[in-house]
Structure 1
């Protein structure tokens, strides 16, 4: 928590402390003025004195209100500013995460940490700049002033305060662990809810709506039960505090009445003592609330710091390599090994191939053979375990990630479109792309016809995730986005899977003349997609089972022959 508190402005905190001290001093002085009015004004019938002290009370009340306003303004601004800073820092940090870090934390948890956990920190900061400052000052000040009014009556606190401390301690013992567990259960609730929304079509297709509803109900009920339990415990605070305050007032009035009868205590002093007693108890209660909620904020702070302190495994080199002014147009995999975090076996082993400008390198293999793993290594979403990947003769680990990804146009398996217009999406990799460049990319990607038929053309609104387009349309738009960028290396990770054979063939034919100054890495499962590739790499269980052209592999490679026979009829193979 202290680590996050360092992000706060020292001058704002000092300002909040100053205003709070002024407010507390004003509030503490008011009961003394009340005693003066009663003792020297009411008791003696001195109206002028009552007016004089009354105006003084009004002045201190106005000062208290102004100071409270200043404190709340500074506290709220600083807490909201801290929340804004934390959300921004988390987003920037997460944006630089490698896929390993995403897999480690989880998307649902990252959302919870960026929203719910940050709100908890904001609440604690607000509470700190209000209650944490007010409570100890008022507790000490009110205790001193109460003692000055009547030392005998202060003995009541010897009984009251230990009882209050024991009660608050019990509340903390039971409530704090529950507050901490609520954050984890919020993660679980967000996870189930997010999966239910993103996978709604699959859920309906398999008639699993009731199962998912029960799954959500279970997570929701678990969160609800915990929240009810902790709020039930906290609900005892107010009635018990009311009871203790009432009992304290009764004891003060009972004993104070005897002292007044004996002539050792004035009525005004008794009234002011009762006010100070309430301030003491309220200060004690405020401190207890701080001690109850700070652990919850501490749990949230730990979760936020876990993200902010997490070191990405993929970082820019301290001294990046200077990119050559003249591009060689080469892509080299030199004895590359790769494994996913925590995995026993290598996902890729001894991958070795070389490609140059104008060549199409096709990657084909069975499910789980490592095709997507290989394509994810090129833009450095993961780092190799051994070996090296070079573009233009430079190891990609020696390049800045920004420079590397500027040279790579990546189209993932699942086409991703962002909310906005078609133009916005296609300019994602090249902000200054002209309409002419966009239409040309759409034409190559076989998207020009359906986009031109839309009423708004390039200005057609794209819903979240491209929900207003079919799977094939989204895939073609994603391909067009990569084409607009005009990179040195195109990576198509099974990006033609939603296209029919005719569109697939037309797209590859239109693409061929456009890649003379680029390298294409084409991951595919269909033989028809890779048949015209210059180099075909056959993967089997993460290893290269063969490299060559379609004709060469068809005649000599067993694994490739098996893939062909599983997809084509005998007369088509010939």
Structure 2
């Protein structure tokens, strides 16, 4: 928890101020029983009306002071906690953004969401309750015991007779609570993951009428969360009855022996009332201990989960490492005997892959599903590092580039078109925040999406719904392509990103990109797209099956020829049906 609470350091003076006003409030509460004892013994029993008025007035003034101290404490604590929550969420988000893809894959998305949301909230609640109530409760218990010994040492002994048992009991319950609430947070992750999965696949669920089935699956993980929560809170609920039982026994002992002391003249009525008052305050404070243990157990579990993210060091991208100076071949790309195996797996995805793409030329990458095409593209911007071999951009190994410089020369169009909530203009400008309106429109025209945008009522100010829900698949792909073109990159990577385009639109797209001064790698399943490339790389089970032009592969590669003939048959059948 040390790392998590270190984010409170910028607000240490606010924390100190909050604790000061909490102590003022606590001091008044501890002084009041003494004043009550004085009013009873020196005022009521002695029949001194002026003493009652004097000490009563002091109690009233102190109560007003405690009232305002409590309000100020709450205000300051709220400000400190909300500022802390903002800082730690920012830190977690920045840390996740800096993860390498290998590190990112170690954390389920749902778990990261939970850590940035509910886990932060839980620690915020702990800190606020600590500044407002949680520290006050144990201090009230300790203070009441000390003041009781000050009032009447003999009677005070009966208040602390059960203290050793309570200390051991609370320690054991806190250890148990930590284990149980760690399990609860993992169950929360499972529920979040199931919700996220279903929201992403809502169209598919509706299309296949699987709502009831998915509701049943969700019910199972929700039931696990319920059972874990019930078990945790059931154990925690044992705390309060045990504490109250021990305190009530102590209180009965105080009353029993206090009455005898009064009869023998060993104590005054006011002293007994003061001791009883302290006992009642201790009982009230002890009733908070079950909540304190629950809050602390959940917060400790949450803080450990957040620290797991914040303390990652090995899997962090160094954006500003060595910078390449004066690249000699703008846009040249070369793979030299590259192999790659995903972490924690045994079978290589790519094996001994070699090819060269000259500046300004286009390479089409083909192969069956699982042949390693997307993995090959992911190695270029260093989402992953090759297990063996060398990858060179502009005749420099990618490891010699800073990630910032390397990725600035690359434009990526992913297989799944990802758009962000905002306007079309904002989505296009996401590729380059400094791009002018003319540049955005130029990229949109190249991507064959400008005319479609112009037909929208708000044109480039049209709002894009969540994940582009109000756009067709082809429109999302073209916007994604335009976003990459806005960057004016030296290398363009297309990961099967024209699959939703019709033949005429795709042909127009490639014609528009012929004048683009960029090296292109195009993953495609279409022979007609591959024909337009300068070179074709055919992968089979992670190895290079063939490499060359369309005509060369038609002559020398049986696999490529088989793919071409099968697609030709499909095209001929489509023409007959049309």
Structure 1, residues 183-209: CA drift from partner, whole Å, max 9, x if none?
Answer: 000000000111011012222333332
- Match of 2:117, SS state, is helix
Q: CA deviation at 1:246?
A: 4.5
Question: What is the TM-score of this pair, normalised by structure 2?
Answer: 0.93
Residue in 1 that maps onto 2:383: 381
* Aligned: 1:560 with 2:567: no
- Match of 2:537, SS state, is strand
Distance in 1, Cα, partners of 2:253 & 2:487: 81
1:438–1:484 Cα contact (<8 Å) kept: yes
Q: CA deviation at 1:384?
A: 1.1
Unaligned runs of 5+ in 2: 574-578
* Aligned: 1:81 with 2:67: no
Residue in 2 that maps onto 1:544: 544
Give the alignment of 1:61-100 within 5 angstroms.
Answer: 61-100=63-102
Residue in 1 that maps onto 2:295: 293
Question: What is the TM-score of this pair, normalised by structure 1?
Answer: 0.93
Distance 1:177 1:329, change over 3 A: closer
Q: CA deviation at 1:291?
A: 4.1
Q: CA deviation at 1:488?
A: 0.6
Distance in 1, Cα, partners of 2:449 & 2:138: 69
Residue in 2 that maps onto 1:469: 471
- Match of 1:409, SS state, is strand
Find the partner of 1:137 among 133, 139, 149.
Answer: 139
1:320–1:398 Cα contact (<8 Å) kept: yes
Q: CA deviation at 1:118?
A: 1.0
Give the alignment of 1:198-217 within 5 angstroms.
Answer: 198-217=200-219
- Match of 2:41, SS state, is helix
Distance 1:178 1:570, change over 3 A: closer
Of 298-307 and 392-401, deviating more is 392-401
Give the alignment of 1:174-189 within 5 angstroms.
Answer: 174-189=176-191
Aligned length in residues? 571
Q: CA deviation at 1:558?
A: 1.9
Q: CA deviation at 1:155?
A: 3.4
Distance in 2, Cα, partners of 1:144 & 1:551: 95
Distance in 2, Cα, partners of 1:299 & 1:217: 25
Structure 1, residues 75-99: CA drift from partner, whole Å, max 9, x if none?
Answer: 3322222221111011001111122
Distance 1:318 1:444, change over 3 A: closer
Give the alignment of 1:516-527 within 5 angstroms.
Answer: 517-527=517-527
Q: CA deviation at 1:274?
A: 0.8
Distance in 1, Cα, partners of 2:129 & 2:350: 53
Distance in 2, Cα, partners of 1:570 & 1:72: 72
Of 300-309 and 73-82, deviating more is 73-82
2:239–2:290 Cα contact (<8 Å) kept: no
Structure 1, residues 401-449: CA drift from partner, whole Å, max 9, x if none?
Answer: 1211111110000001110111110111122323322222222212122
Find the partner of 2:509 among 507, 510, 515.
Answer: 507
Distance 1:314 1:324, change over 3 A: farther
Q: CA deviation at 1:281?
A: 3.6
Distance in 2, Cα, partners of 1:324 & 1:44: 98
2:159–2:251 Cα contact (<8 Å) kept: no
Q: CA deviation at 1:11?
A: 2.7
- Match of 2:381, SS state, is coil
Residue in 2 that maps onto 1:28: 30
* Aligned: 1:302 with 2:304: yes
Residue in 1 that maps onto 2:122: 120
Distance in 1, Cα, partners of 2:281 & 2:313: 48
Residue in 1 that maps onto 2:576: none
* Aligned: 1:535 with 2:535: yes
Unaligned runs of 5+ in 1: none
Of 190-199 and 284-293, deviating more is 284-293
- Match of 2:135, SS state, is helix
Give the alignment of 1:63-462 within 5 angstroms.
Answer: 63-162=65-164, 164-165=166-167, 168=170, 171-172=173-174, 174-239=176-241, 241-286=243-288, 289-311=291-313, 313=315, 315-316=317-318, 319-324=321-326, 328-462=330-464
Distance in 2, Cα, partners of 1:285 & 1:242: 7
Structure 1, residues 502-560: CA drift from partner, whole Å, max 9, x if none?
Answer: 222221122112x2x21011011111111110011011111111111111111111221
4+ residue runs of structure 1 moved beyond 6 angstroms? 570-573
Distance in 1, Cα, partners of 2:114 & 2:316: 24
2:447–2:478 Cα contact (<8 Å) kept: yes
2:553–2:560 Cα contact (<8 Å) kept: yes
Distance in 1, Cα, partners of 2:255 & 2:571: 106
Structure 1, residues 151-171: CA drift from partner, whole Å, max 9, x if none?
Answer: 332232354435645664565
1:335–1:350 Cα contact (<8 Å) kept: yes
1:421–1:460 Cα contact (<8 Å) kept: yes
